[in-house]
Structure 1
Amino acid sequence: NCWLLLIKATSLLSLLQISDIVRGANLLGSPNFSRSAGLIHGDWRWAYYLALLLFYILVTYLSEKGFAALTRWASRGMAVAGRT
């Protein structure tokens, strides 16, 4: 629980320099225009932000499952309330 609170409260992604990642998503996804070619692609920023969101959810999900497995492993052989 503390790990997930840490991820959600302080944003573990800040360790990965989230500002640099978001700036990169802005640069890659913004509409691209070339004088000779015209409009190369439209606004794709939403796709990069969606990828960042999915990455964040994946990190929290894997952490939750990992710590649940670790808790099960650490409590084996112990009487735990609510488990039969």
Structure 2
Amino acid sequence: MYDRVRTIAPQGVDAALDASGRGEIPDSIELVGSPARVLTLVACDAADTGIQVLLRTVRPRRILLCARRHVRRAAP
């Protein structure tokens, strides 16, 4: 994805939206220049990267699963 976007927008892009959850978050951050300009609808475990995570579009069960994973990682 990174190479294709760079080809059509060599100066970069203004923002990125992740709707796949397939691991493109690091490339998206590099393309836009700041994690604050990246939004994900599906990668709730990516919040520690500094991107924006929108959970309102996710089913309640998925929110609970994401919260569990986050708590497990944060526990000492």
TM range (shorter): under 0.3
- Structure in which a larger fraction of residues adopt helix: 1
Give the TM-score normalised by the residue count of structure 2. Answer: 0.25
